[in-house]
Structure 1
Amino acid sequence: MISVASASRERRPPSDKAVPKAEQIYEMVRYAIIRLSMVPGSVISEKELCLQYGVSRTPVREALKRLSDEDLVDVFPHSGTYVSKISFEVAEEGYVIRRALEIESIRRAVQYVTDDDIARLDQLIREMRDILERDALHEYIEVDDAFHSAIAGISRYPRMWKFINLVKAHLDRMRQLSAPVPGHLAEVTEQHAAIVRALERRNADQAELAMKIHLEASFAVMSAMYEDGQYFRRKET
Structure 2
Amino acid sequence: MIAGTSAARDRRSPAEKPTLKAEQIYEVLRHAIVRLRMEPGSVISEKELCLAYGVSRTPVREALKRLADEDLVDVFPHSGTYVSKISFEVAEEGFVIRRALEIESIRRAVAYATDEDIRRLERLIGEMRDILERGALHEYIEVDDAFHAAIAGISRYPRIWKFINLVKAHLDRMRQLSAPLPGHLAEVTEQHAAIVRALGRRNADQAELAMKIHLESSFAVMSAMYEDGRYFRRKEV
TM over 0.5: yes
Residue 74 of structure 1: aligned partner: 74
Work out whether 1:135 is the aligned partner of 2:135.
yes
Work out whether 1:145 is the aligned partner of 2:131.
no
CA-CA distance at 1:235 after TM superposition = 2.7
Aligned partners of 2:214, 2:226: CA distance in 1, in Å?
19
Aligned partners of 2:192, 2:236: CA distance in 1, in Å?
37
| Correspondences of 1:107-126 after superposition (within 5 Å) | 107-126=107-126
CA-CA distance at 1:14 after TM superposition = 4.6
One-letter amino acid matched to 2:77: P
CA-CA distance at 1:211 after TM superposition = 0.1
Contact 2:34/2:169, CA 8 A, preserved across alignment: yes
CA-CA distance at 1:227 after TM superposition = 1.8
Contact 1:13/1:27, CA 8 A, preserved across alignment: no
Gaps of 5+ in 2: 10-18
Q: What is the SS of the residue equivalent to 2:41? A: coil
Q: What is the SS of the residue equivalent to 1:229? A: coil
One-letter amino acid matched to 1:163: F
Contact 2:109/2:156, CA 8 A, preserved across alignment: yes
Aligned CA distance change for structure 1 residues 15 and 193 (closer, same or farther; 3 Å) = farther
Residue 183 of structure 2: aligned partner: 183
Contact 1:124/1:147, CA 8 A, preserved across alignment: yes
Residue 197 of structure 2: aligned partner: 197
Aligned partners of 1:174, 1:15: CA distance in 2, in Å?
32
One-letter amino acid matched to 1:223: S
- Which is worse superposed, 122-131 or 19-28? 19-28
Residue 99 of structure 2: aligned partner: 99
Gaps of 5+ in 1: 1-11
Aligned partners of 1:15, 1:132: CA distance in 2, in Å?
34
One-letter amino acid matched to 2:232: F
CA-CA distance at 1:229 after TM superposition = 2.2
Q: Which has the larger radius of gyration?
A: 2
Contact 2:94/2:167, CA 8 A, preserved across alignment: yes
Residue 49 of structure 1: aligned partner: 49
Percent identity between the two aligned chains: 85
Contact 1:109/1:155, CA 8 A, preserved across alignment: yes
Q: How many residues align?
A: 226
Aligned partners of 1:13, 1:115: CA distance in 2, in Å?
40
CA-CA distance at 1:228 after TM superposition = 1.9
